[in-house]
Amino acid sequence: MSTINNALSGALAAQAGVTVTSQNVANLMTPGYTRQGVLLTAAQASGSGPAATGDGVNVPSLFRFSDDYKNLQMWNAASDVGQHTTADPYLKQLEQVMGDDTSNINQGLDSFSSALNAASVDPTSSPLRQQVISAADGLSQRFNSLSQVLSGQRASVFQQRSAIATQVSSLSTDIARLNDKIVASSGSGTSASGLVDERDNKIDALSSLVGIQTVSQADGSRTVSMRGGQPLVIGSKAAQVTVQPVVGGGQKLVVQLAQQSFGVSGSNLGGELGGLADFEDKVLMPLTTSIQDMAKSISSQFNTQLTAGFTMAGSAGQPLFDVASGALGVLKVSSGLQPNDLGFSSNAGQPGDSANLLKVIDLKKQPITVTSLGSVQMGDAYTQLVSKLGGDSQQNSASLTVAQTVRTYAVSDWKSRSGVNSDEEAINLVQFQQMYQANMKVISVANQLFDSTLAIIN
């Protein structure tokens, strides 16, 4: 009877192998599915003596072809892709806007210089003076148009950050719920492979939104936290990530778990949240400040020089620019300014003198201070800003290409271990089929021997 029992255990083990193989084949195209296998162990002999061969084979459990290291590599790669992908459209939009003829500050400055040069031919000409005011207004509009684009991008960053924070909270809740189900399934002896796959897919989606760290617990749950250590999931408890305004018009991220709150730094966040933080802190805000610096310097230097001269009536020249504030822009022509109010002359008694006007024209070659550039010629400042932006955009594009390549490799590496291979499963199916047939043959032979033995006795 031991022969039949051994063969029966082998047939049942083969049947379990076929069942697992069929599950793998059925999920050949299922995203994120981790293939399974049967764990076979030899059953120790229950009898004693040198002739005790053993009691067949056991199938104590199924197992998943999973590698936590490869999972982590794939999630880290997803964070890098999300980070650079998020910043890419903002950078490309800024490149396009700053290089466009209608908003290019250099062209506005050139037109303003051309109007000043034209007025130097006849400083007493009202039409030429009016042309200077019109060119100054055109330059102001270019500053204001670019300022509005920058403000619009920051508003878009704020909205996107809030939306991503909501997604992070939702995914954290899903992961905590799955943790709870996995622990319950493991405790009852039920296979939780499908639940673990679903949870890992949620973690993968979460990693593209923010850089994460994970720790596997003994009960089957996973603890998930941000790179800075702020907890997102602990067991069956999930954090809520919110965006709160700060003084000065900015935003800050806050993680709330149970009754505790954790502040989140924008540095090294990773994922889409990190991409937004890096773009805002390293590109958008410095560029906004630089444009404001240019507007203030242009206003200050031209106003200082013009007020040092004299008008057509011999009085002190009036300021040409006002530095604006608020949603209307950063620069504007002084309200109520008339052509005759421009202080082109250096002599109150000689309105046709252009000595002061020539000093105004020369200001384009004078240095101004821009936060992100330092001291630079007025006529070169915008060109250097555009060049720096192009460098930032190119670097981000290159980093995105690298991140996508690393992600592709990480996914491929994960599939080599955890993905379903149709050829391998076909081989397994044939092997388990042969194993089943061989064990059934053993049972058949054992029955024949038993019948022969009974015939001899009779």
| Reported confidence tier of residue 77, pLDDT bands at 50, 70, 90 | very high
User: Which of 43-47, 128-132, 196-200, 414-418 has the lowest average pLDDT?
Assistant: 43-47
Q: Of the ranges 53-62, 193-202, 368-377, which one carries the lowest mean pLDDT score?
A: 53-62
Check whether 1 has a pLDDT greater than 60: no
CB under 8 Å to 290, separation ≥6 — which residues? 370, 371, 372, 373, 381, 385
Distance separating alpha carbons of residues 174 and 202, to the nearest angstrom = 7
pLDDT of 451 strictly over 90: no
Q: Please say if the pLDDT value at position 172 is more than 70.
A: yes
Q: What separation in angstroms does the CA of 265 have from each of 192, 229, 352, 455?
A: 36, 11, 61, 86
Average pLDDT over residues 413-423: 92
- The pLDDT, as a whole number, for residue 279 is 96
What values do phi and psi take at 262, rounded to 5?
Answer: -130, 130
Asked if residue 49 has pLDDT above 80, the reply is no
Task: Annotate 39-91 with three-state secondary structure.
Answer: EEEECCCCCCCCCCCCCCEEEEEEEECCCHHHHHHHHHHHHHHHHHHHHHHHH
The pLDDT, as a whole number, for residue 328 is 57
Residue 275 has pLDDT above 60, yes or no: yes
* Mean pLDDT within 54-78: 89
Model pLDDT for residues 339-387, shown as the tens digit of each residue? 999 999 998 888 888 899 999 999 999 999 998 889 999 989 999 999 9
Q: For residue 453, what pLDDT band results from cuts at 50, 70 and 90?
A: confident
Bridge partners of residue 387, in order along the sequence: none
The yes-or-no verdict on residue 326 having pLDDT over 80 is no
**Tell me, what's the pLDDT at 372?**
84
pLDDT band at 310 (very low <50, low <70, confident <90, very high): very high
Token pair recorded at residue 187: 């405790």
* pLDDT confidence bin for 444, thresholds 50/70/90: confident
Query: What is the pLDDT of the chain when averaged over all its residues?
Result: 91
What pLDDT score does 63 carry?
A: 87
pLDDT: which is higher, 115 or 268: 115
User: Given a cut of 90, is residue 152 above it in pLDDT?
Assistant: yes
Q: What is the DSSP letter of 232?
A: E
Average pLDDT for residues 23-50, to the nearest whole number?
Answer: 86
Rg (CA), the chain: 37
The average pLDDT across 425-442 equals 92
* pLDDT tier, 458 (very low <50, low <70, confident <90, very high otherwise): low
SS3 letters for 416-440? HHHCCCHHHHHHHHHHHHHHHHHHH
pLDDT of 144 strictly over 60 = yes
Please state the pTM of the whole predicted model: 0.88
Quick: pLDDT tens for 331-341: 999 999 999 99
pLDDT greater than 70 at residue 327: no
H helices, E strands: number in the chain: 10, 13
Other beta carbons within 10 Å of 417? 14
Given a cut of 80, is residue 52 above it in pLDDT? no
Spell out the residues 6+ positions from residue 266 whose beta carbon is closer than 8 angstroms to its own.
253, 274, 277, 278, 280, 281
* Cβ 373 vs Cβ 389: under 8 Å: no
